[in-house]
Structure 1
Amino acid sequence: MSKSIARERLKELIQELAIVRGKVTLSSGKEADYYIDLRRVTLHHEAAPLVGEVMLEMLDAAELDFTNVGGLTMGADPVGTAIMHTARNTDRAIDAFVVRKAQKSYGMGRQVEGPSVEGKNVVVLEDTSTTGGSALTAVEGVRKAGGNVVAVAVIVDRDTGAKERIEDEAGVPYLFAYGKDELGL
């Protein structure tokens, strides 16, 4: 599938499956007139592979040097695995990881699970972000684990300040595949 066709089809699926209209309270505590439930897309049989294609193309267009992708569980998990599988289909080795909200107090005591990020260039992912809080928690966890965060990337940007906060506090670029205006929000 061509890049433009994949991007357009994913946009259609986001609009069809993920956008829920009506008053909702977001995880940030803010109220909104719509909710973007991207798990309805990232866990969908047709949309998930498109997520991998569109996100990997966006990261490559930004000319980022990275070997690992992931973020705070649970929104980032299917995004990371979609990118990992898309990369593998083109003989690229990109590993995924999962960041817990807090370091485990048992077992190996890790906050970042999966192949080690120590000394690796990493892209922190999120499905969507309102305030940037989840992505910043993931950035902090990855840095504590020895990873070098080169960017934060999301599927949909709500245009509510996450970009500015992440770029200011984490000091890395914030990339998004779709803005709320492009989705008609």
Structure 2
Amino acid sequence: MNDARAKLIDHITAEAVFHGDFTLTSGKKASYYIDLRKVSLDHRVAPLIGQVMTDLIAPIPDVAAVGGLTMGADPIATAVLHQAAARGLTYDAFVVRKEPKDHGRGRQVEGPDVAGRRVVVLEDTSTTGGSPLKAAAALEREGAIIAAVAVVVDRATGARETIEAAGYPYFAAIGLADLGLAP
């Protein structure tokens, strides 16, 4: 395990894992909640997320841009954008709104044009895979080519299977065992 990944796991475990009774976006009940925004927006941890996620997606050929459904993917995409640029990689970032704007240009995908470009859909934590799939659908309507879906933490609750069944490669930087949690 590299140093950035080990430090990231330590931060997530100490600062972003909460124990109790929680209802997830999917409606499922859980005895813990992983709130990555507690760390993804932290000046100490965002660079680590950028490093770890750039390591994860760098082997994917011809990636032009990264991003995902707002709000969970936004800080992840920004972290990757900056860390990748520091390495000389030219990933742009984009944001996918939950619905198209009802004013201005009426866009659902914001940022540089994604038409004809290979993109990686990012997510902070993945439970069912619904958010990355919603982002992928919006991106494909804009002409993007989905190269993969990459998440920081996979909750091992079916997201991988759902995303792979939809035809997309799935990558996760951290699993529950890394955080000392059982699926």
- Alignment match, 2:30: 32
Between the two proteins, the alignment pairs up a number of residues equal to 181
Distance 1:183 1:7 in 2: 12
Superposed counterparts of 1:1-185, under 5 Å:
4-61=2-59, 63-169=60-166, 171-185=167-181
Per-residue deviation, 1:23: 0.6
Q: TM-score, normalised by structure 1?
A: 0.95
- Where in structure 1 are there 5+ consecutive unaligned residues? none
Distance 2:154 2:81 in 1: 22
Distance 1:14 1:64 in 2: 29
Per-residue deviation, 1:105: 2.3
Whichever residue aligns with residue 126 of structure 1, its letter is E
Q: 3-state SS of the aligned residue for 1:44?
A: coil
Deviations 1:19-69 (A, max 9, x none): 0011100011110000000001110111100000000001124x3320100
Q: 3-state SS of the aligned residue for 1:181?
A: helix
Distance 2:109 2:153 in 1: 24
Q: TM-score, normalised by structure 2?
A: 0.96
Distance 1:135 1:94 in 2: 18
RMSD over equivalenced CA pairs, Å = 1.0
Q: 3-state SS of the aligned residue for 1:143?
A: helix
What is the percentage of aligned positions where both structures have the same residue? 54
Distance 1:129 1:20 in 2: 16
Runs of 4+ aligned residues of structure 1 deviating over 4 Å after TM superposition are: none
Distance 1:132 1:167 in 2: 10
Q: 3-state SS of the aligned residue for 2:121?
A: strand
Whichever residue aligns with residue 58 of structure 2, its letter is D
Per-residue deviation, 1:149: 0.4
Distance 1:133 1:149 in 2: 15
Distance 2:125 2:58 in 1: 19
Whichever residue aligns with residue 21 of structure 1, its letter is H
Distance 1:101 1:80 in 2: 16
Deviations 1:110-153 (A, max 9, x none): 11001111111000000011111111100001000110001000
